[in-house]
Amino acid sequence: MIIIKTPQEIQKMQVAADLLVEVHRALREKIRPGVTTLELDQFVDEFIISRGGYPEQKGYEGFPYAICASVDDEICHGFPRKEALQEGQILTVDMVVNVDGYLADSAWSYAVGEISPEAQRLMEVTKECLYLGIEQAQVGNRLGDIGHAIQSHAEKNGMSVVRDFVGHGIGRKMHEAPQVLHYGKPGRGLRLQEGMVFTIEPMINLGNWQMKLDSNGWTARTVDGSLSCQYEHTLAVTKDGPIILTEQDR
C-alpha cells in the first residue's frame, strides 16, 4: 500500500532532510586520503544525534553503522572500516536521518583526492542519471518513465544499471511501497500521484551490472571488479513537479 503524504507530513520529512543535507555538506570537507570510513561513521553518528536526530540505518535489520560507506567496486551497504581512504578512490556515503519520527534518505559519492578520468566520468553520468530520473517524477507519469530515463542514459554512455537494489517509498518507515526500479520501459508501471514520496538512487557500474554479496551478508560489490557509483535523493511528487527534499545546492 502506498502511503500518500500530506503537505504537513512532507514538511516534517523536510526537517529530517535539512539535517541530512547538513551532514553531507560537512562530509565534503572531511573526505580525503588518510581518513578512515570508521571515523566518518563516528562523525556522522555524533553529528546527527547532537542535532536531535537519529541515524536510522543503525540497528536496521542488524546493520551496525550510522552510514553505509561503499568504496570503488562496492555497490552499496559497505561497512565502515579502519583502513584509511586512498587517493583515487570513490566513496559513496548513504544515510537515513530520523527527526521526530519522519525520515529522509540520501546517498552521495565523493572523490578521494584526485581520481582517474574514467572514475570522474562515472560520477558525472551517475549524477546525471539521478536528475534525469527525478525529472520524470511528474504527476501522471509512470514509474517506468523514471527507470527508462536512467537506464537509457547509463547505457548510452557504455555503463550499466544495477538491478538488485531499487528506490523506495519513504515516510515514517525507511522502506515503503512502491519500489522504484532504475531500469524499465516508458509508459509502464504505477502512475505517479501527488503526495507520493520516494527515493531515486541509481547505482551505476563502469562494467557489468551483476553483483555479489560479501560474507558479512550486506555489502554488494561488482562481480567484474569494476567501479560503481551512486547518488540518491528523497523527493516528493507535487502538482508543480518533483520537490527534492535532500537537495544540497540551494
Binding site for Mg ion (CB under 5 A): 94, 105, 107, 232
From CA 189, how far away is CA 195, in angstroms rounded? 18
From CA 207, how far away is CA 203, in angstroms rounded? 12
Whether residue 52 contacts residue 41, with contact meaning beta carbons closer than 8 Å, is answered with no
Of 77 and 142, the one with the shorter C-beta distance to Mg ion is 77
- Give me the least distance between CB of 242 and Mg ion, in Å please: 17
Of 74 and 105, the one with the shorter C-beta distance to Mg ion is 105
- Give me the least distance between CB of 231 and Mg ion, in Å please: 10
47, three cell numbers: 553529528
Of 155 and 247, the one with the shorter C-beta distance to Mg ion is 247
Of 20 and 143, the one with the shorter C-beta distance to Mg ion is 20
Q: Give the contacts of 132 (CB within 8 A, at least 6 positions apart).
A: 149, 150, 153
Of 24 and 163, the one with the shorter C-beta distance to Mg ion is 24
Of 107 and 115, the one with the shorter C-beta distance to Mg ion is 107
Residue nearest to Mg ion (CB): 105
- Give me the least distance between CB of 161 and Mg ion, in Å please: 17
- Give me the least distance between CB of 94 and Mg ion, in Å please: 4
57, three cell numbers: 540505518
- Give me the least distance between CB of 233 and Mg ion, in Å please: 9
Q: Is the dihedral of CA 11, 16, 21, 22 positive or negative?
A: positive
Cα Rg of the chain, angstroms? 17
- Give me the least distance between CB of 56 and Mg ion, in Å please: 10
- Give the start-end residues of each E strand in the chain: 54-55, 68-71, 74-76, 90-99, 102-111, 160-161, 167-169, 176-180, 197-200, 203-205, 211-213, 220-222, 228-230, 233-238, 241-244
